[in-house]
Chains A and B, each alone.
Chain A
Amino acid sequence: MIIIAERINGMFKDVKQAIADKDKKVVQDLAKKQTEAGASYLDVNVGTASADQEGTMQWLVETIQETCSTPLCLDSQKPNVIAAGLKSVKAGAAVMLNSTPLNKKSDEQVLDKYIEMAEQAGPKASIIALTMDKNGVPQDIDTRVAIAAEIVQKAMEKGFDTQRLFIDPIILPVKVPGAQVQPGNIMAAMDQIRYLADPAPHMTIGLSNLSQGATERSLINRTFLAMAVSHGLDSAIIDVLDEKLMNVLATAELLMNKQIYSDSYLRAYSPANK
């Protein structure tokens, strides 16, 4: 499982304040704690903390890299913000560009731009593409799969290795009226998306969005995570500091034969051994 840790995001109060105060310690502590807890990548999202999104992205990237070498997942739907972050990412490092839809009304070529930026960033750069297009987020299974197919096709046309491509079928808050059907739809879509290419593109989700505004957030998150792993989810943007969630993830991967069982498998899943 490629685990992307979600906490360095300007939507969180502590990070927002840290950005406003240019307080490196808060960001660096989160980077270290999430790395120790098992992050493969650290998501970096400026959020709404600053008007200068490009400058803030660069500051976050530089601040994190001062303290740890965990690969970064630059999180913005604006190509210029991603590009700014990439300037500060250490040359040749693994990096994720998160995220782009298939296309936007305002920018038909947005996916091309992300692919090109990833190519320029080197062979360890990958992108997360959302099953979303200029018409918005699809609600049904078929449209999700159709958009994913177009994304995969575009990547292949451009010679971009599908193993560097992460498809995010977009999980919506279960509490939103009418959205309760979505978790099931997403799993059904994933069942098809994994056959779009060989080797299959990775699949990721921004898990915490599922429980937005709900009580029992952690329980909802970890239950769906286990279900999604059984449908081929091999990456997720999650709260790695949620120990119960991490234990469920380790167990789900074990039951799917992704990890070799040992009596101490929960310890074996810990970051020190990854």
Chain B
Amino acid sequence: MQEGRVLPAKEINRDLLRSILTTPNWYWVTVAVMAIIVLGAMSAAGLMINRGMGMTGLNRPVMWGFFIVNFVFWIGISHAGVMLSAILRLSKAEWRRPATRAAEVLTVFSLMTAVMMPLIHTGRPWRLVYWVYTLPFVPYDFARGIWPNIRSPLVWDPSAIFTYLTSSILFVMVALIPDMAVLRDRTTGIRHQAYALMAMGWQGTPRQWKLQIISGILLSALILPVFVSVHSIVSWDFGMAVAVKSWHSTIFAPYFVVGAVHSGVSAVVFVMILLRWIYGWENYIRHEHIDALGRLLIVVATGWFYFFVMEVIFGFYGREADEIAVREFQFTQPPWNLWFIFFTGLTYFLPVSLWLFKWTRRNLWIMSIACISVNIGMWLERFLIIVPGLAQKQMFTFTWYTYAPSAVEITIIGGTFAMVTLLMLLFSKVLPLIPLYDIKEGDMLKTEIKIGRATVPAVFRED
């Protein structure tokens, strides 16, 4: 049984469209600040592309650094959308309703941000045409008989990511159609025309509803294998590298997928708490939702922790001297061991102990702290996977070195966070971040009527 009262449809429309139909003062200030940070990061990237990759802190043994760490991080965040939306829709979890849209939109925007990272990382993004042939509007130059190398994980990557991006955009759009129609009916002028175009003639007829529901469920089921494949393939960027001892591991695929869900769902919880606060959606994003997500996160975090421990054990189990040397380097030598302690504490021990009690799960401040801590920890996790194995403990000691990020790299990383925030803010100005029809449907299922002495649900859902 859900908490909270049943709201009239009018009130739902008024509350959830508030972000679109009115503009508070803080909104433009925040947008401006974020846009300035993004512009700063773009200038930094421009400077780097102009001068060369020497502007970064990368060097000969450490050829991959902050950009790839950030790429994996944002791909990880993007896994929240499907986890919350598709899995919970298929399993008919009622409490998913206010969370789905924000999660899906976060998926799309973080994927877009993630895709930019490898292009910035290569230093000459116009060479994209040789690499990302999967884009339909980029013709691949087959005329000279030169083909992409399908053995390379870096060719699997764009294939998986663009499939995921396409399907998650489709997923969001299908769910948006009824809400577009609501907006079409409440706006005038050019906005009305734009919403009318996007609503694609939605009238709310039973046939349209049926098609919309079926396509939503179909897309949920179809997107799940893509969801699992994306981070598996990203993990194979590392798993397939024979020469880097701490990367060359078979457990990376499930480990990365669960880690992605861990950081992604945490990010969604934080975004929901923010939305509740800034738009005053106390009636929609309720404590019970945060509570349920907190309980889900305990399971996900513990699953992730299992794979993390297993990954370490597999490393030692092989008894390969080089691999053990890298592990020893990660666990015992400063500053890596300090980062390692931070990472395990922030990713598992601190947040999970905060999620264990009902009163902590229902305290929004504590939940925010736990979810931010998970994301800092998961960022560190990717850093600790990628850099130490490259930096040292190769078989020839002559090339050992270390890595420190440059100001350009840090600026660009900061810019990606500002960019996702900016895109989310702009989206909230144009389209509702909580699905109106889904909330109404949930309320409908919640309504009870009295028949004689018995209280029964007013509506039964066909299964």
A and B: interacting chains: no
Q: Using CB atoms and an 8 Å cutoff, list the residues of chain A in contact with chain B.
A: none
